[in-house]
Amino acid sequence: MRLAIASLLFLCVSCGGSKTKTDTPPTVASADPAPASAPSESATAAPADAPPAAPAMPTKCAQQGDVCTPPSDFVTRLCNKNFLEATMVLYQKDSPWTRMYLKGDVVAWFPDGASLKAKLLFDEEVLVLRKRVQPKGGMVIGDGSGSYDVLRWDGNCYALEAGQLTSKLPPNARRPVIDFYKLGKRMQDALLKDKAVTAAYAKRQKECAGATMGDVSAACEKAVAALSNATIEFVRTTGGLPEPEKIP
């Protein structure tokens, strides 16, 4: 009897001590998803390259000191061809560029551009484009005072020694004849608003009968020179010209 009771107690203790192993509950995902990170700058599309800026006529001195000149890169482009309209704008009234005058007749050319050899005249006005200083220790050219790249009224560039020029204004500065018909219509219309230019233009039409080249009469040559002079006088004393159709 005792043996039966002990066996029964043993079985009860064994049953109470055992526990059923339960699995760990699975992790539940959050109802609100994590906010998406903002796209990085590198992931955003890069804007298309901006178009190059349109060329513009210079208005401020690039070379200071005793001369005021346009920027050197503009000068290089200007002297690669003849830009007569741009020349008129550079020479017009109140432009800041330095003017100089020939001390005597000079046969000159521009080695780095399109200008042909030409004879520049005593007392002729030129516009200074660039000053070249004689390098120290280098070969002395001319009188050693350096040189200038200059622009003639007809749109051609030339290289002159400093000793061939003066800044002193002569009593009657000389200018070469410019071809009015090489100017665009917009520039011509602006010039023809001046009474003196209009009168000279009408005279040229009458004397030259529409001819612009070849054999012409002495009266025609005189009328061509008069129209050139009237045009130059308007540019240098009045100004207010439109932008050139072609800018270097």
Does residue 206 sit in helix, strand or coil?
Answer: helix
The pLDDT confidence band at residue 10, using thresholds 50, 70 and 90, is: very low
Mean pLDDT across 195-224: 88
Q: Residue 43 has what pLDDT?
A: 47
Q: Is 12 exposed, middle or buried (0-12, 13-18, 19+ CB in 10 A)?
A: exposed
Q: What is the mean pLDDT of the chain?
A: 81
Does residue 169 sit in helix, strand or coil?
Answer: coil
Mean pLDDT across 97-105: 97
CA 32 vs. chain centroid, Å, equals: 59
**Which distant-in-sequence residues (6+ apart) come within 8 Å of 244 by Cβ?**
57, 83, 85, 86, 88, 89, 184, 187
Mean pLDDT across 190-203: 97
Token pair listed for 11: 């079985």
Q: Which residue has the higher pLDDT, 80 or 113?
A: 80
Q: Residue 133 has what pLDDT?
A: 78
Can you give the pTM of this predicted structure?
0.74
Distances (CA, A) of 228 to 21, 75, 176, 177, 180: 113, 24, 8, 6, 7
Q: pLDDT at residue 204 above 90?
A: yes
